[in-house]
Chain A
């Protein structure tokens, strides 16, 4: 029978693997406290990339250098929430290292206030 409805070819047909399938339906990034500016860096991506599915490989290549989570998501063309789940998966397997911007030995609020007052006084 002749097809009469709309037809969408290749990319127009939409992604073959939907996003929920990429994360297995998960949206939470586990124990890792990832925010937009958390830095991540891949560990030996040329060794690990072939071991994982393409989306994970994309993330690995996106953080070949220490890169912020937001940048990784943009480079891998993934929504931020999805990228966070993938990064935390990779981090669990030590394929990436997560470097949180919030250091436990960071200067306390008092010091920062003093710095701010000093700047204003300039």
Chain B
């Protein structure tokens, strides 16, 4: 069935082993590839975020500084001092110029940042878009300076929240910590800026309670904040801060701020020089902003460095995992292929031994040939592991088979020699018996007595045939042998005489050829068995005809009966048996009627004689015996003596041939009946008799 075949095809050992090796390998490879891709992706993301932060900080700082200045100028303008309107317009343009840079970097930052950071950035963008509205409200006096101050504070608070968000999103703890420091620095710079914006108002108009409180709060805050950060600053920043503390501007600012605080929320003329104070405040504010900028740059550099390192590590790690997975797969494939190759070799060698090696050796043993087991048998050697043990087990089984075959051959040999021995003995006895009968026949004068002797002779002749059959079955040579060529006609007559109902057999047209002596005994037996078969399987009064003719490949004898014939299948089976003689044990299981044909098959195989059974035109069986030309002695001398027409008269005697030229005989007995015709003419001084 095709379904079964395709299923078998799929489940070869190679497929199975491949599956066993491939499934874990592929799993490892898939996991490795997944982890590698994840690591690289993460590394790339962190790296990208760090780059974004790095790019976003300068525009942010610029924007923060711009808004702070705009806020201060807004406060200043509200006091109505000098040319503050012109400077405010310029400052607003400067802020607007800084916006596109900030927008661009904010978008990039939002793309890679956390959700919190994104929300903060969105809020910042909205506030920034509301900047024009805020300005219009301020210019149109919709909101007063205090409200404007708070609105600007909101924008800058969002900037601070953004810095805080960046700190929180940092992949590296160190970078996050440093970003938090820069956030604190930003807050102190912003507090200073707010306090200054409030101080400007305080100097110009005085403050109410709330505003004064705000001023105090911001002043206190930036002083406290900056002091608390100092230990966490870099050495360079600490130096800058120490330097700032020693500047006259710092002293001026601190002194004047203190005097503002001491004055309280009232409008009085200040005791210090306002422009100097303004310049000092701007100087200090810028220094603080620059502290913030330096540190946030430092933190961004740190983050970028660490992100870059992480990225490189993730590439290396992913690559290493991939490499290990591929190596594991290669090793698994290599090992499984090695295993399968061994299994295939075992399979091939085992099949070879089972299909060719063993049958060959067993056949040789059966034929009685000596067998060298170590040299002639390709024993399997596959080492000492499980596969090797399977091979060893097969070797053991093979040895058992060979041992059995040897024992069987020995047993058969023994049986053969026993019954060959018995057959030879009875053959010798029958031979002597026939000699005695021969001399008794010669001296008998009474026809009735001779009749009795003839019957005994016939029985003994058949007994001899049986004994010789046994010898042939045991692969032996019968005792009767010929060294000189013998006339085929005598062979045919002798064969017929050995059958039970020889009187029913007629012969016609047997060619005058002689058969090589070595083949005579076998040919007599072969023909006797075929003739016996024909008489046995035809009606008791029907004739059996033996005909002969020379053909290109030798001599053909036809033995035709008028029996009931055989079915086609049975005839084909017998033909097959005759063309390929089965072994003795196959025959042993058969019935008696086939023993004769088995002997025929053995003899035919021994002499290269081809025998075919076919259906006779009378309905019986026509057995055709082709004697090859090799068995014919001096085939060139096969010519029949021409006989004058009209004198031919078919003899009525069954054993009488129509015509015959006696072949030259080699016997020395001058009175023997097989003398040549010329010799006989000499002996009797023949001449034409008068009739």
Contacts and interface: CB of A to CB of B under 8 A. Distances in A.
Given A13-B481, A20-B458, A57-B677, A65 B653 contact: no
A3 B662 contact: no
Contact of B688 (A6, A44, A49, A79): A44
B654 interface: yes
B689 A11 contact: no
A37 interface: no
A9 B483 contact: yes
A76 B673 contact: yes
B490 A17 contact: yes
A3 to B, nearest CB: 5
Contact of B686 (A25, A28, A46, A53): A46
Contact of B494 (A17, A25, A49): A17
B261 interface: no
A92 to B, nearest CB: 8
B341 interface: no
Contacts of A14: 431, 434-435, 438, 480
B454 A16 contact: no
Interface in B416-451: 416-417, 420-421, 424-425, 427-428, 431, 434-435, 438, 441-448, 450-451
Contacts of A48: 647
A80 B445 contact: yes
Interface in A23-44: 23-25, 27-29, 41-44
Contacts of B442: 79
A54 B490 CA distance: 9
Interface string B669-688: 10111100100110111111
Nearest to A67: B684
Contact of B684 (A28, A61, A77, A78): A61
Interface string B455-479: 1011001000000000000111101
A103 to B, nearest CB: 20
Nearest to A23: B454
Interface stretch (B24-32, B79-87, B262-270, B495-503): B495-503
Interface in A64-98: 64-65, 75-82, 89, 93, 97
Interface residues of A, number: 59
Nearest to A19: B441
Contact of A50 (B455, B489, B659): B659
A58 B435 contact: no
Given A25-B454, A51-B643, A77-B673, A1 B417 contact: yes
A7 B677 contact: no
Contacts of B72: none
Given A24-B654, A57-B662, A5 B444 contact: no
Given A10-B483, A50-B659, A17 B427 contact: no
A82 to B, nearest CB: 8
B486 interface: yes
A8 B480 contact: yes
B656 A53 contact: yes
A18 to B, nearest CB: 5
Contact of B475 (A1, A5, A8, A10): A1
Contacts of B660: 50, 52-54, 57
Contact of B689 (A1, A49, A57, A65): A65
B658 A51 contact: yes
Contacts of B461: 18
A27 B450 contact: yes
A2 B503 CA distance: 37
Contacts of B689: 41-45, 64-65
Nearest to B495: A16
Nearest to A4: B424
Interface string B538-573: 000000000000000000000000000000000000
A69 to B, nearest CB: 12
A103 B519 CA distance: 54
Contact of A7 (B481, B651, B688): B481
Nearest to A43: B691
B454 A27 contact: yes
A5 B467 CA distance: 12
B494 A47 contact: no
A106 interface: no
Given A46-B686, A61-B681, A77-B673, A5 B427 contact: yes
Contacts of B691: 43-44, 97
B493 interface: yes
Contacts of A97: 691
A24 B421 CA distance: 34
Nearest to A86: B653
A82 B56 CA distance: 145
Nearest to A56: B656
B391 to A, nearest CB: 38
A81 B445 CA distance: 6
A79 B442 CA distance: 4
Contact of B672 (A27, A77, A80): A77
Contacts of A1: 416-417, 420, 474-476
Nearest to A97: B691
Contacts of A16: 486, 490-491, 493-494, 520, 524
A70 to B, nearest CB: 11
A85 to B, nearest CB: 8
Contact of A54 (B651, B673, B686): B673
Contacts of A7: 477, 479, 481
Nearest to A45: B686
B17 interface: no
B671 A75 contact: yes
B484 A18 contact: no
B644 interface: yes
Nearest to B647: A47
A99 B448 CA distance: 25
B454 A19 contact: yes
Contacts of A23: 454
A107 to B, nearest CB: 28
Interface of B: 416-417, 420-421, 424-425, 427-428, 431, 434-435, 438, 441-448, 450-451, 454-455, 457-458, 461, 474-477, 479-484, 486, 489-491, 493-494, 496-497, 502-503, 517, 520, 524, 641, 643-644, 647-649, 651, 653-662, 667, 669, 671-674, 677, 680-681, 683-689, 691
Given A5-B479, A54-B673, 8 more contacts: A1-B474, A10-B483, A20-B457, A24-B654, A51-B651, A53-B651, A65-B689, A78-B673
The 10 A-B residue pairs with the shortest CB-CB distance, nearest first, are A5-B424, A21-B497, A20-B454, A16-B494, A13-B480, A27-B447, A27-B450, A61-B680, A81-B450, A58-B673
